[in-house]
């Protein structure tokens, strides 16, 4: 049992079907679709990793570049400067904070910058990870 939750998420057949209807061609559920599906099936986004694991489905293509195969462009200095104002320790910043920053520009621009910088994303809103491993220098 996952220690983050008091009880395991149990899905009914309708919830399972809604998940299956939203899978990508490769049988995974993308990051963006996972947020959508969480609303459709009535669970908190943080529970989606556990939900997907319970039916052997992987969440793919993190919009911030932590995992997956999304093709990203170059980092943007302006976006990086906004991000670094929110670093907690070292170069850590939460997924939720990055999504908030993205409201001022776009999720893709923030993802481009995170993927191509020394930014360390922590605490995935979907429950996929607490920390990202691997340090990079900013590329512009």
The answer to whether residues 17 and 47 belong to one domain is yes
How far is C-alpha 102 from the geometric centre of its chain's CA atoms? Answer: 13
21 in a structural domain:
yes
What is the C-alpha to C-alpha distance for residues 61 and 82, in angstroms, rounded to an integer? 23
**Gap between the Cα atoms of 99 and 102, Å rounded:** 5
Helix (H, G, I), strand (E, B) or coil at 120: strand
76 and 135 co-located in one domain:
yes
- Ranking 45-49, 77-81, 86-90 by mean pLDDT, the lowest is 86-90
Give the chain's domain count.
2
User: Does residue 139 have a pLDDT over 70?
Assistant: no
Digit-coded pLDDT (tens) for 46-79: 999 999 999 999 999 999 999 999 999 999 999 9
Domain with 104 in it:
72-140
- Is there a single domain that holds both residue 79 and residue 138? yes
Question: Is 6 part of a structural domain of the chain?
Answer: no
């Amino acid at each position: 049992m996952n220690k983050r939750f008091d009880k395991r998420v149990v899905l009914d057949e309708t919830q399972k079907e809604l998940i299956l209807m939203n899978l990508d061609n490769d049988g995974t559920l993308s990051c963006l679709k996972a947020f959508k599906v969480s609303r459709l099936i009535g669970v908190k986004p943080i529970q989606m990793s556990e939900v997907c694991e319970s039916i052997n489905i992987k969440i793919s293509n993190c919009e911030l570049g932590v995992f997956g195969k999304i093709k990203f462009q170059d980092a943007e200095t302006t976006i990086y400067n906004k991000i670094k104002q929110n670093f907690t320790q070292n170069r850590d910043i939460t997924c939720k904070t990055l999504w908030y920053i993205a409201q001022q520009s776009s999720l893709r621009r923030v993802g481009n910058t995170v993927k191509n910088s020394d930014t360390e994303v922590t605490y995935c809103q979907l429950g996929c990870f607490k920390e990202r491993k691997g340090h990079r220098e900013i590329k512009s």
